[in-house]
Amino acid sequence: MFTPQGPSLRELTVQALSSVEHGYDLLATKFDATPFRTSDRLLAAVADTLEGLGPFDSGLDVCCGTGAGLGVLRSVCAGRIAGVDFSTGMLARARGAHPTADLVRADALALPFASAFDLAVSFGAFGHFLPDDQRALFAQVHGALRPGGTFAFPLPAPPPVGSRLYWTLWGFDAAMRVRNAVWRPPFVMYYRTFRLADVRARLEHAGFDVTLVPVEPLGRREDGSPRCRLVVARKGSG
Ligand SMILES: C[S@@+](CC[C@H](N)C(=O)[O-])C[C@H]1O[C@@H](n2cnc3c(N)ncnc32)[C@H](O)[C@@H]1O
pLDDT per residue as tens digits for the range 42-78: 999 999 999 999 999 999 999 999 999 999 999 999 9
- Give the pLDDT means over successive 10-residue stretches in the chain (238 positions): 72 75 91 94 98 96 98 98 97 97 97 97 95 96 98 95 91 87 82 89 98 98 96 93
CA dist 233 and 138 (Å) reads: 10
Residues in the ligand 1 pocket, defined by CB under 6 Å: 20, 24, 36-38, 63-65, 68-69, 85-87, 90, 107-109, 123-125, 128
Nearest to 142 by CA among 101, 105, 103, 111: 111
Residues 6+ apart with CB under 8 A from 208: 138, 142, 151, 233, 234, 235
Could you tell me whether strands 59-62 and 117-122 are parallel, antiparallel, or unpaired per DSSP bridges?
parallel
Q: Quote the ligand 1 centre to 84 CA distance (angstroms).
A: 9
The model carries a pTM of: 0.92
Contact 131, 202 (CB under 8 A): yes
C-alpha 180 chain-centroid distance: 22
How distant, in Å, are the alpha carbons of 15, 62, 95 from that of 46? 29, 15, 22
Go through the domains of the chain in sequence order and give each one's CATH number.
1-37 (no CATH), 39-158+195-235 (3.40.50.150)
Contact 43, 72 (CB under 8 A): yes
By most ligand atoms within 8 Å of CB, the mutation choice from 46, 86, 113 for ligand 1 is 86
Q: Which atom of ligand 1 is nearest to the CA of 108?
A: 20
Spatial strand order in the sheet of 145-156: 102-105, 81-85, 59-62, 117-122, 145-156, 228-235, 208-214
Q: Quote the ligand 1 centre to 77 CA distance (angstroms).
A: 21
